[in-house]
Chains A and B, each alone.
Chain A
Amino acid sequence: MTMATKAAAGSAASWRRERGYFILMMLTPAIVLLTGLILVPFVVGFGVSFTDYILSLPPAQFAGFGNYLKLVSTPEFWDALRVTLIFTVASVALQTVIGLGLAVLLHEETRGVPVLRAIYLLPMAVTPIAAVFTFRMMFNPSLGVFNHLLVSMGLPPQDWLGTGNMALFSLVLVDTWQHTPFILLIIAGGLASLPGEPFEAAKIDGATPWQIFYMVTLPLLKPFLAIALLFRSIDAFKTFDIIYVLTAGGPGTATTTLNMYAYKQAIEFVSLGYGSSVAIVMLAIITIVTQIFLRRSRLLTVAD
């Protein structure tokens, strides 16, 4: 090896080393934050879920899979899972239909559309908890605006949050108001990026607008729809603020979702062991469903 090649090899090694240091330096803040805020709490929570830890009755004893066995044999857990699934499916389905419809309607560059687009995106700009408190006032049976409108139209006032089904419906309504713009935004972005040729070809072939939507637009939008569905489903599955403020899981347990159930157990009843096991099961459900969805939809697969 000549001196020149040795020097070149040395400098390449030093460059690689420096590059390694640089990458490490750039990643350190993120690694520290992720470790502190996600990894450590997860490991602690996972560990606690195998104990019978109740804050007011220390010390904690190792309970093996006791909490998990108790969980699957507790009707309230299955009830909470059922409520969670109903809320998630109803919310996401409604938001997808409305979001898709609005995105397609607002895709046309006609007069007034930019203003409408801005208006439809407004709910996303509102702080969620502030919006929920406002809805709480609007749902108030005697002083709220919803019942005022119903009565002024000659319709009977409704007990929006007072009966099981109605309360669940009201929660879906608020979630839909708040999050439809998110789906609208993703699908509108997708629509803007679609190639024009398939649409022109369809028009030349004499397809009706409905046929174009169903046979061209929708298949081309599938990846965008899939992303929107995935994000919203995960989000809806772990919704907390809307439920906590509007119904606190009631009446009875009619709107107690898994997240509310975990909160009640771990924070209200300070039963950290059992509460943690509910949270871990929630995490497992979300992870498994997401993985299945990603594999089926091939969202993360790069095409050859």
Chain B
Amino acid sequence: MTDTAERQMELTLPMVEDIEIAAARAAGNLAREVGMSNERIDEMTHAIIEACINAREHSGCADKRMYLRFVGTSEGSGNPRLDIWITDHGRGFDPQQARSRRQQLGPAHKRGWGLQIIEAHMDEVDITTSPEGTTIHMVKLEKKS
């Protein structure tokens, strides 16, 4: 039987300029507590930044807030994991359409890369979206199984 350490944090942040840095720093501190390496934290940081920017720029939510939850776990054998949920109460979007739009535009077009960056830097990404809002759940692992 292995011991499991767990750390949790919940934040409600206003959708203001550069707030994504506060979110990423908070997640980074928690990830360090459960033993995640700087390289993995750096990747996770960039994914969180893009997720927060997407919420701020595109959600169209009335309350102008985003709701974040971080859960860090570390098993006794040493495999830190961070689960991140970022929620907005905006209008939702079609993730498939967002991905295909990026592919149609091609590399010469400069905007709309957030989702691709998130998926490249995280180990698991799951998006739940409806006209009532969007939650993106991202997982960062120290070691892939």
The answer to whether A binds B is no
Interface residues of B (CB under 8 A from A): none
